[in-house]
Chain A
Amino acid sequence: MTEHAVAAGRAARRRRLWRRFRRRPMPMAGLVLVVGFVLLALAGPLVVGDPAAQDYLATLAPPSPAHLMGTDDLGRDAFARIAHGAQVSLQAGVLSTLLAMAVGIPIGLVAGFYRRWLDPVVMRLVDVTLAFPFLVFAVGLAAIIGPSLKGVVLALGFAQLPAVIRITRGEVLAVREMDYVAAAVADGAGDGHIILRYVLPNCASPLIVQATVAIPTAIIGESTLSFLGLGVQPPTPSWGVMLTTAQQYLSDAPWLAIWPGLMIALATLGFNLLGDGLRDVLDPRSGR
């Protein structure tokens, strides 16, 4: 009975949020772009050809029915490479963000909740690292870790960490002042219970929004690292690697730069629009 009532309440809440979200055109456009991107990354590699297959008779060929997006200098199909590159981008974006959240949220929760003891130390470290621009930090980390997809994920994940900690901690500081936290203390609830059942759920909305901002930043980060040779290594197709190649053929084969550039832009735009929409919908202060 208890679980049933709770589940019913949660379902009702989700339906209400979805109704609110659906009415807005820009977030819906963002959702469509994100879903398209994820589909491309998951299903694309299954339908397109081998991204490494070289067609020596058609190098630097413009878009045609045989090669929808044209071919590169080695005669590899650009569309196949874009689809496989989407997979790399999605992994880099999502895994690095998950890593940052998995490590950063607990640190932020504990720092914000035990403000007196831990907070000064943690925040000093966060401030120092936040003084570096995200990409500079990521490039530095990637240079240390070494070039590979795993390295990209680790570098981008750690580069995001300070921001995640700062946002979580800021939310915790606000939430812990709420009377419902005092009520839980008055019940005799322990810190663990209060942090997990009272504080964390009430910090979740801004963190979800943060994730939708962090993923596209990490996608750009992956492209940048790969473009600089610090990320995914050549035969593996990545949008950043494709840009590096394209740069040499800008006048002969401009499409080689246009496709990955356009994909990065669309994926980034999609996540950002989605994030803006989620921010509006999840904010309890906005209309019911």
Chain B
Amino acid sequence: MILRIDNLVKHYGQVRAVDGLSLEIAHGEVLGLVGESGSGKSTVGKCVLRLTDPTAGTIELAGRDITRLSRRAMRPLRRDMHMVFQDPFSSLNPRFTIEQIVGEPLLRHKVADRRGVSERVSAMLEKVGLRPEMRSRFPHELSGGQRQRVGLARALILEPKLVVADEPVSALDVSVQASVLNLITDLQRDMGFSCLFITHDLSVVEFLADRIAVMYLGKIVESGPKAEIFAAPRHPYTQALLSAAPVADPVRQRERRRIVLGADVPSPVDPPSGCRFHTRCPLAYDACRTDEPPLTDTRSNGHPAACHLITADRIPDAAAHR
């Protein structure tokens, strides 16, 4: 395992952004972490990179517990992981040239001298589909798609083992989303890094991810191999998310029954009792309001999901109920 998160908790004052979350990523694996806005996805990413200090739980990078390492002790480990940010406008220092931005990790970890930096930056820019002449430009001279490629180049230039990609395409024009997504897919195949790919849109990870973890109000509600999640989602929330995502196959699209979730996402300051999803779940019953369902896989062919119906070995079907 390159990454193992166990029972991670992160509270911002009253806000329970992440509230007991566990997940694992194997070497070379892409895990899609999916959830609505405010479910705590970015907070997980920031904890993994120790950009913020976890409240509780443990984070292991390649078998080493990094949860409480000091900033100094973290420094050498930062060669092995990096992050791609959502907003291509605030993630690049406006006062740096592209070469300075992309070359910064090389100088920081003393991997190359100044001349070597220039060469490696050029090579990396070509890898992400940018002309080497871009080196002397400033971020504001670039389009959103180009900036995101620069962000990728920076994150990948040290050939990290783990990349946290926090909604790397959701701020981009729809027309350039696909090309950046394809680029990430190609680079991942090429370089073989493991990836925690964060997104609110399941369709984004349909081709890229090996496994999917679905997050709701700071917790994982279902996780499993991508094919299983897409073909047979078990948790009512996953079913609702999938029913809202666009599907490439027109036959499936027509057959599909859309599940509309009532009510807004509850506040993470005071999450609902019992199953956190019960205020919106079409299948909710008495036990859901009082008891918290464990993340279990009782069915022999199944993958873990947190729902009382699954614990009782029944198959939830949110779409059948309206």
| Interface residue ranges, A against B (CB under 8 Å) | 1-3, 5-6, 8-9, 13, 178-180, 182-189, 197-198, 201-202, 284, 288
Dominant secondary structure at the A interface: helix
How far apart sit A90 and B82, CA to CA, in the bound complex (Å)?
Answer: 50
Q: Is the CB of B83 within 8 A of A186?
A: yes
| Interface residue ranges, B against A (CB under 8 Å) | 46, 49, 51, 74-76, 78-79, 81-83, 85-87, 90-97, 99-100, 103-105, 108-109, 114-115, 117-118, 135-138, 140, 151, 154
6 nearest A-B pairs in the assembled complex, by CB-CB distance: A179-B91, A5-B136, A188-B78, A201-B95, A188-B75, A179-B85
Q: Is the CB of A2 within 8 A of B118?
A: yes
- What's the minimum C-beta distance from B310 to chain A, rounded to whole angstroms? 37
Q: Is the CB of A186 within 8 A of B138?
A: no
Q: Is the CB of B108 within 8 A of A183?
A: no
The contact of A284 among B78, B94, B115, by CB within 8 Å, is B94
- Contacts A2-B118, A5-B135, A188-B75 given; does A183 touch B95 at CB 8 Å: no
- What's the minimum C-beta distance from B135 to chain A, rounded to whole angstroms? 5
Q: List 25 A-B contacts (CB under 8 A).
A: A2-B99, A2-B103, A2-B114, A5-B99, A6-B97, A6-B136, A9-B97, A13-B138, A179-B85, A179-B87, A179-B91, A180-B90, A180-B91, A182-B83, A182-B85, A182-B91, A183-B151, A183-B154, A186-B82, A187-B82, A188-B75, A189-B104, A197-B93, A198-B95, A202-B95
- Contacts A5-B97, A5-B99, A187-B108 given; does A182 touch B51 at CB 8 Å: yes
B-side contacts of A189, CB under 8 Å: 104, 108
How far apart sit A43 and B92, CA to CA, in the bound complex (Å)?
Answer: 45
A-side contacts of B85, CB under 8 Å: 179, 182-183
Q: Across the two chains, which residue of chain A brings its CB closest to B114?
A: A2
19 extra A-B contacts, CB within 8 A, seeds A179-B86, A188-B78, A202-B94: A1-B115, A5-B99, A8-B136, A9-B97, A179-B87, A180-B92, A180-B94, A182-B83, A182-B85, A186-B51, A186-B81, A186-B82, A186-B83, A187-B82, A188-B74, A189-B104, A189-B108, A198-B95, A284-B94
How far apart sit A201 and B139, CA to CA, in the bound complex (Å)?
Answer: 15
